[in-house]
Amino acid sequence: MSQELILNQRVVLASRPQGSPTPENFRLEREALPDVQDGQVQLRTLYLSLDPYMRGRMSDAPSYAPPVEIDAVMEGGAVSVVEQSRNPAFKEGDLVVGQTGWQTHSLSDGKNLMQVPKDLPSPSMAVGVLGMPGITGYMGLMNIGQPKSGETLVVAAASGAVGSVVGQVAKLHGLRVVGIAGGIDKCRYVMDELGFDACIDHKSEHFAEQLSEACPSGIDIYFELVGGKVFEAVLPLLNQHARIPLCGLIAQYNAQRLPDGPNYLPLLMRTLLTKRAKIQGFIVYEEYYHRLEEFMQAMVPLVKDGKVKFREDVVEGLEHAPDAFIGMLEGKNFGKLVVKVS
Amino acid sequence: MSQELILNQRVVLASRPQGSPTPENFRLEREALPDVQDGQVQLRTLYLSLDPYMRGRMSDAPSYAPPVEIDAVMEGGAVSVVEQSRNPAFKEGDLVVGQTGWQTHSLSDGKNLMQVPKDLPSPSMAVGVLGMPGITGYMGLMNIGQPKSGETLVVAAASGAVGSVVGQVAKLHGLRVVGIAGGIDKCRYVMDELGFDACIDHKSEHFAEQLSEACPSGIDIYFELVGGKVFEAVLPLLNQHARIPLCGLIAQYNAQRLPDGPNYLPLLMRTLLTKRAKIQGFIVYEEYYHRLEEFMQAMVPLVKDGKVKFREDVVEGLEHAPDAFIGMLEGKNFGKLVVKVS
């Protein structure tokens, strides 16, 4: 069968960042997409998800996943449409989600693709509230956080993809929910739209005092996405048997060396000991993806009924992905950041 | 019934230490023991246990337990003999263990006393390998550590009461067990007598390298009793899904302020995240004392068969308790520190 020549546009890693990434660390390329082979599908990317973990893949420091190689396509999850299929599990027009990278087209053997329900209001939800960030928030909260009615939960990046799910689901379980976000607009959204009990601006001069006032009964669950100064303000407020699910540290991803002292490590350890508290790191792909169905059964009705709301920050065009990503690491996005690719 | 006058000798908290405790923080007193009332027992202390947690009770910083008041008897667990009983649950000559404090005699309503089996080789075991330290080690290891055959466990203070139980029980479960102790004699004892696979001297100039060499497959469980420099050396060796039961931080109990930088807190958080690791603080009295029977059923046969060995460092005379306690915080004891009171 003769195939039409497809020009694939892709963003590759040009160099590894020192500190904050810059546009020079990325390069936009065009290449002819190879022909589809037996067993493969040809995909056209609709929505590329931009997520903080990608900063880790740009570095070659040891981590839970290997880094992106220099000159290789940046890693990323995306929703795509099947344009050609030589794999019996997929047909033309199917919507799928997978780690297909920062590019307009891709080929896949189908092994790590998941079908996306066609009745979603927007397919982009499959990389947001009903995708990796949603599963991360829901599973980390329910399994490590173990929320109990009447407790207090704090989550930072509260207007973002993970934080908004964590807070709203905790609220549905009867917790007092305090968000942390950057700026008045985000805080207002978190309280007025997402229904959190309070939201504190981490840029405020009196952040630590305000957080303490918003948590009159202390903190039982701190869902950790950011690290840095926020965590230092949370520490003295932790209650006995506090639980800290840990799945992100965006505030420290660009750090090139350990911060100056004092050394807070002994204070953390003392707090964990005297409060009998728990911190547990997790990576959603490995820990919880086999429980995707459980997640979807719980979350799809909540989203459809408007009990879990979400906000997307949509950037148009793959060529803008690097700038959008760099901005996200500085907290410039407002809601789940996705790139509308085609 | 006429009662004999009993002169009770006791060590009270004279002042709160600034940094390391000094003899001046303690005061030895004599007082007439009040008469036994209905429902009470009169106890004569045989063995007083000295344990690192007592340093916390000397300070009025917030903790999981209230501090000892100034001029009050120092808190501590001890094995005693019942000298008089006006409580039907106890009779003269019974051996009991309870938090009766640093004193030669005490009165108790019996509520928090436990009977000590009379067939123990020494009643002091009831405050050691078969008492609080043993339960701490066993329960923390089994419940939070979740040991699996073939894994590697590291425990510091390895010749001490908790560490020696942790390591020996882990060894019986098929783990590679690496101890850390202060000085060649302790290290030799830990390897030759307790059967650990290796033991590293934390006073060695090349401690971190030696620990790394002793753990060629990384560390799956680090049982945390000490904190400080040892923990910093452990951090880079942690494996994926490492577990860190945390029940003591003796290396930092005397600290008066946070240490100088760099700040290792972000490194710890990054490690927990990328390794999907867990730290969990616990206090044995609250978490596990209701499972005492389970512990005794597991541990008594192991101790009787010599599969779990233990060493006691016995100091004679209550008047030497303060010096012995101060020395313990500097690592001068060799084995479980107990004071033979009478």
Residue B182's domain is classified under what CATH number? Answer: 3.40.50.720
CB contact under 8 A, B259 and A262: yes
Q: Residue A29 CB: number of other CB atoms within 10 A?
A: 13
Residues 255-294 of A with CB under 8 A from B: 255, 257-270, 272-283, 286-287
Query: Do residues B11 and B54 both lie within one domain?
Result: yes
Instruction: Tell me phi and psi for residue A45, to 5 degrees.
Output: -75, 130
C-alpha distances in Å from residue B335, one per residue of B165, B193, B312: 11, 12, 5
Instruction: Tell me phi and psi for residue A55, to 5 degrees.
Output: -60, -40
Query: Do residues B239 and B219 both lie within one domain?
Result: yes
Residue A5: predicted pLDDT? 85
CB contact under 8 A, B274 and A246: no
Residue B117: predicted pLDDT? 85
Nearest of B145, B135, B227 to residue A271 by alpha carbon: B227
Q: Which structural domain range is residue B66 located in? A: 7-128+312-340
Query: Do residues A60 and A43 both lie within one domain?
Result: yes
CB contact under 8 A, B261 and A262: yes
CATH of the domain at A34: 3.90.180.10
Tell me the pairing of strands B278-281 and B312-316: unpaired
Residue A3: predicted pLDDT? 58
pLDDT confidence band for B4 (50 / 70 / 90): confident
CB contact under 8 A, A261 and B257: no
Collapsing DSSP to helix, strand or coil, B16 comes out as: coil
Q: The dihedral of CA B198, B203, B208, B209: what is its sign?
A: negative
**Burial of B33: CB neighbours in 10 Å, binned 0-12, 13-18, 19+:** buried
Segments in chain A below pLDDT 70: 1-3
Closest residue in A to B276 (Cα) is A281
Residue B245: predicted pLDDT? 98
Q: B39 — contact with chain A (CB < 8 Å)?
A: no
Instruction: Specify the number of domains making up chain A.
Output: 2
Last residue of a domain, one of B270, B285, B300: B285
Instruction: Tell me phi and psi for residue B325, to 5 degrees.
Output: -65, -45
Q: Residue A121 CB: number of other CB atoms within 10 A?
A: 8
Q: B307 — contact with chain A (CB < 8 Å)?
A: no
Mean pLDDT (whole number) for B195-207: 97
For residue A291, being part of any structural domain is answered with no
Closest residue in A to B229 (Cα) is A266
pLDDT in tens, B151-171: 999 999 999 999 999 999 999
Collapsing DSSP to helix, strand or coil, A249 comes out as: coil
For residue B115, being part of any structural domain is answered with yes
Query: Do residues B17 and B87 both lie within one domain?
Result: yes
**How far apart are alpha carbons B127 and B167 in whole angstroms?**
19
Sequence-separated (6 or more) residues with CB below 8 Å from residue B49: B76, B77, B78, B127, B128, B131, B132, B133, B336, B337, B338
Mean pLDDT (whole number) for B93-112: 96
Query: Do residues A246 and A153 both lie within one domain?
Result: yes
**How far apart are alpha carbons B151 and A232 in whole angstroms?**
33
Which of these ranges, A115-124, B78-87, B198-207, B295-304, has the smallest mean pLDDT?
Answer: A115-124
- Which element (helix H / strand E) includes A296? helix A292-304
Minimum-distance CB partner of A261 among B232, B263, B268: B263
**Min distance B232 CA to chain A CA atoms (Å):** 9
CB contact under 8 A, B270 and A276: no
CB contact under 8 A, B281 and A276: yes
**Min distance A64 CA to chain B CA atoms (Å):** 5
Query: Do residues B124 and B138 both lie within one domain?
Result: no
**Min distance A128 CA to chain B CA atoms (Å):** 21
Closest residue in B to A66 (Cα) is B274
Query: Do residues A145 and A17 both lie within one domain?
Result: no
CB contact under 8 A, B258 and A279: no
For residue A124, being part of any structural domain is answered with yes
For residue B73, being part of any structural domain is answered with yes
CB contact under 8 A, B246 and A280: no
CB contact under 8 A, A262 and B262: no
Residue B3: predicted pLDDT? 58
Instruction: Tell me phi and psi for residue B170, to 5 degrees.
Output: -60, -40
Query: Do residues B177 and B269 both lie within one domain?
Result: yes
pLDDT confidence band for B331 (50 / 70 / 90): very high
From chain A, pick out residues whose CB is under 8 angstroms from the CB of B258. 261-264, 266-267
Closest residue in B to A237 (Cα) is B62
Mean pLDDT (whole number) for B46-68: 92
Last residue of a domain, one of B285, B300, B327: B285
Mean pLDDT (whole number) for B8-22: 96
Query: Do residues B224 and B321 both lie within one domain?
Result: no
Sequence-separated (6 or more) residues with CB below 8 Å from residue B160: B133, B225, B333, B335, B336
Percent of chain B whose predicted confidence (pLDDT) is above 70: 99
Last residue of a domain, one of A285, A300, A332: A285
Query: Do residues B149 and B217 both lie within one domain?
Result: yes
From chain A, pick out residues whose CB is under 8 angstroms from the CB of B273. 246-249, 281, 283
Query: Do residues A30 and A120 both lie within one domain?
Result: yes
Q: A241 — contact with chain B (CB < 8 Å)?
A: no
Residue A63: predicted pLDDT? 80
| pLDDT greater than 80 at residue B1 | no
For residue A290, being part of any structural domain is answered with no
For residue B335, being part of any structural domain is answered with yes
Pick the residue of A136, A279, A284, A289 with the most B CBs within 10 A to test the interface with B by mutation.
Answer: A279
Residue A292: predicted pLDDT? 87
For residue B295, being part of any structural domain is answered with no
Say which DSSP state A255 is in: -
For residue B319, being part of any structural domain is answered with yes
Minimum-distance CB partner of B262 among A263, A269, A287: A263
CB contact under 8 A, B259 and A240: no
Query: Do residues A90 and A12 both lie within one domain?
Result: yes
Residue A334: predicted pLDDT? 95
Collapsing DSSP to helix, strand or coil, A81 comes out as: strand
